[in-house]
Structures are given as C-alpha cells and as structure tokens.
Amino acid sequence: MKQVKIFAGSASRSLAESIAAAYGTSLGDLTVQRFADNEMGPSFNESVRGCEVFLVQSTFPPAEHLMELMLMVDACKRASAYKVNIVMPYMGYARQDRKDKPRVSIGAKVVANIIQSVGTDRLMTCDLHAGQIQGFFDIPVDHLDGATVLAPYIKSLNLENLIFASPDVGGVVRTRAFAKKFGAEIVVCDKMRIRANEIASMQVIGDVKGMDVVFVDDMVDTAGTICKAADLVMERGANSVRAVITHPLLSGPAHDRIRASQLTELITTDTIPQREHNDKIHVISLAPLFAAAIRNVVTHESISSLFV
C-alpha cells in the first residue's frame, strides 16, 4: 500500500487537521511562500515521491484559494507523487452550472477544466450545488452527502411534529431526500427574485401550522432567503423553525440577519471556517466522514457505503 500524506491549504487548515487526526496521522509539512506583491508559491518540505497525496482546500472566495490549490497539485506532480487527490469540502463557482441567460459563463465547468488541467487524479467533495456537476469532470469524483452527519443531530432533537421545507423550488429534490430519512413530509417556499441575493416575494406551498419546520439547503450566502422563509412559516403558525445546511458562506449581513430572524438555530458544517461567533449557529464537523472516505479510497473500498 502506498504511503498516504495529507496536506492543508491555507483556507482549510483547521478542517484538514481534524481530518488528519480522524485518519490517524498528522498534516504534512507545507510552506506557502509570498512575494512582496503577495504572489504565492507553495513548497512541500518533505518528500511525496511515490505517495498517495490528499490536498485539503475549500475554494470559497477569494479565487486565490483555488490558485493556491492548483499550485499545490502542480508541485506534487513535479515531485513524483503517485497520485494527487483533491479534498475540496466546498467547491467555489459551483452555482454557475448552466447558461440561465445569454452571454454568461459556466463557472463550474471552467473550474472543472482547471482542476483536471494540472493533473489531478481524483476529486472528493461534499454537497455540490447541483449533482450533475460531477459530469463536468473526466476523473473520479467522490460526492459525499453532508446529511450523513447532519441528520443524526436533527434526530437527537426529538421534534414531535417534524416537517421539512425547501427554501425554493430548486431545492425540492435535496429536501425530499433529507426528509426520506425521517419518513416526513415536505413543504416548499416559492420565491421570486429581482436579482441575485434580492427577493421580491415569497409564499409557502403546504401547511406548517403547529409543525416543527426544518429548512434544508446546500448553502447560505447572505441569509436573505432562509431568514425570510423562517419568518414566513412562523407567521403561518409553525411551532418552531430551524435550518440545516452544509456550506456556511454567511457573507455580508448574514450573521445579523440570522440573529434577528425567528430561526431557533442554523445547523451547519465546517466546510468553510466561520468569520465570527454566532450563538444561533451550531457547527458539526465533516472530518470523520472525509477521513473515512480517504481511508476507503486508499483501501479500494466503497465510498457510497459511508452515506447510503
């Protein structure tokens, strides 16, 4: 069996340390050198020749995180690593997965091309914005399910009148899959946007009176949608409202909106490190799941068995 080495990019060091610890090892020694103009150059301070290397880095903004990761892959390939695997808990630009209007880019495909162009052997990620993004790659993609660690927490709450809700029509499939684990029903919030991150109107499709509502989504950015939806279901007679998401982008006014909303709590993971503390946010680590997936990749065992 090839020696396994796990390295962390600067965006995901804390999560990478937890993954390495759960795997039973420590992080490899990596230095990111900086020039006076802030241009970077990753340098591995130990041999990776013949090793199975796993590079952990989420690619949330700025795009420099993606560039750093690509340079890390290139350095490994040039140092004769046996295989270079990317562990990307959150894939940036994944929301741009199609042409939804004329003359726009498909950012997810551009990122896929970049990842493959530097010689990446495998991609491991979690809860892509759209599952079909896996088809943008010509290398193996291990698409982990965040519900594996999030669902047990919801079960531990022992909510009596549990119902799941999608904050928009596009998230119905994801919400139904989550609700299926509990044998629960779902409702849908139908929203109309003026532009990105700005909602004109919203309505609830389904009855939430007296119910403990749990919204399910892959990410929260400015928290405008989830907070408006939470307030709306409470107006419609819900007993309580929570949200469970995988990727806590939480940009701009997100924290203030969550604090001011009627959300009891926002349950999320550590794919993106938090910039500030928020008493309403409960973080569950994905490190054990990623560590188990890495172990199964190395030993050629099933990945889907971890979450199916």
> Kind and range of the H or E element at 142?
strand 141-144
Q: Report the distance separating Cα 206 and Cα 191, nearest Å.
A: 14
12-15: Cβ within 8 A, 24+ apart? 12/56, 12/57, 12/58, 12/89, 12/273, 14/270, 14/273, 15/56, 15/58, 15/89, 15/270, 15/271, 15/273, 15/285, 15/286, 15/287, 15/290
Sign of CA dihedral 288, 249, 180, 160: positive
The 10 Å Cβ neighbour count of residue 118 is: 17
Q: How many helices (H) and strands (E) does the chain have?
A: 8, 14
Catalytically annotated residue among 109, 191, 209, 280: 191
Residue the block writes with tokens 């560039």: 67
Q: What is the chain's Cα-based Rg?
A: 20
Q: What does the alpha-carbon distance between residue 202 and residue 232 come to, in Å, rounded to a whole number?
A: 8
Which two three-digit tokens encode residue 259? 């604090």
State the SS3 of 96-128.
Answer: CCCCCCCCCCCHHHHHHHHHHHCCCCEEEEECC
Q: In the annotation, is 101 catalytic? A: no
Evaluate whether 39 touches 87 at the Cβ level (below 8 Å).
Answer: no
The residues carrying an active-site annotation are: 191
